[in-house]
């Protein structure tokens, strides 16, 4: 009764994970001669900050001699500076990019469609910058189509201030939302739509947009 667990960094779409699962099932059936009903697959997302302690040390380093395929990297303790992992390192916005986006009001967001490859129809939304992060909110809350696609696929593309970027989408919770409220008040203080954008409904649909390498691989 083979059970396969795949652990990876967040950022892959549900479509990509489903395709991976299907291919693993096919290989297990073909190579190990098990029927489909005997095979189970689990995919677990582990963030970069937790990867070393939760995965690398207990499951890779401690079992190195038992690995059938050994990785070509060694964590340095800070996943943003891992050796041999430049293709997987999450990018950050440059100061110039954040400045341009902060001073524009033309951000269009395009989460991937269900196939994990095709960009959705661009949706114009408000955006704000807080420290070194870029944040957006869904006017219709969690029922917004683009928000649902962003949370489901977790990746896509944005354009703003003359910049086009491949990005990842992360849900936002906690005290940072108060500072995001303040950023909305400062940038859109003259708009009649400000009130709804700092309401409980839209706060619950706050998204952090993080740049990523096109076709970047991740755990």
Quote the tokens at residue 112: 């991937």
The structural domain count of the chain equals: 2
Per cent of the chain over pLDDT 70 is 89
Query: Region 10-20: what's the mean pLDDT?
Result: 88
Contact 142, 208 (CB under 8 A): no
**pLDDT interval class at 67 (50, 70, 90):** confident
The answer to whether residue 89 sits within a structural domain is no
Residues 113 and 207 in one domain: yes
Please report the beta strands in the chain, taking only residues with DSSP state E, as ranges in sequence order.
Answer: 3-8, 40-45, 108-111, 123-124, 127-130, 133-137, 155-160, 163-171, 206-211
When the pLDDT of each residue in the chain is averaged and rounded to a whole number, the result is 88
Q: Is the pLDDT of residue 84 over 80?
A: no
On whether both 40 and 114 belong to a single domain, the answer is no
| Rounded mean pLDDT, 18-27 | 94
Segment among 48-57, 119-128, 195-204 with least mean pLDDT:
48-57
Are 101 and 203 contained in the same domain?
A: yes
pLDDT at 66 over 60: yes
* pLDDT score of 13: 85
pLDDT at 155 over 60: yes
Supply the range of the domain harboring residue 18: 3-81
The pLDDT score that the predictor gives to residue 115 is 86
């Amino acid at each position: 009764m083979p059970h396969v667990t795949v652990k990876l960094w967040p950022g892959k779409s549900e479509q990509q994970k489903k395709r991976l699962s299907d291919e693993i099932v096919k290989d297990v059936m073909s190579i190990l001669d098990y029927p489909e009903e005997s095979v189970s697959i689990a995919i677990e997302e582990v963030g970069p900050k937790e990867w070393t302690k939760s995965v690398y040390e207990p499951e890779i380093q401690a079992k190195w001699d038992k690995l059938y395929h050994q990785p070509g990297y060694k964590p340095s303790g800070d996943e943003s500076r891992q050796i041999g992992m430049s293709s997987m390192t999450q990018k950050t916005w440059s100061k110039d990019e954040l400045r341009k986006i902060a001073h524009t009001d033309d951000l269009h967001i395009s989460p991937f469609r269900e196939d994990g490859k095709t960009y959705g129809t661009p949706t114009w939304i408000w955006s704000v910058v807080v420290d070194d992060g870029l944040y957006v909110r869904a006017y219709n809350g969690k029922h917004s189509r683009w928000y649902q696609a962003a949370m489901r696929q977790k990746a896509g593309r944005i354009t703003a201030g003359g910049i086009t970027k491949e990005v990842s989408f992360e849900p936002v919770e906690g005290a940072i939302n108060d500072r995001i409220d303040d950023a909305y008040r400062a940038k859109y203080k003259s708009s009649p739509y400000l009130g709804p954008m700092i309401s409980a409904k839209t706060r619950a649909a706050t998204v952090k947009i993080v740049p990523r390498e096109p076709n970047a691989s991740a755990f």
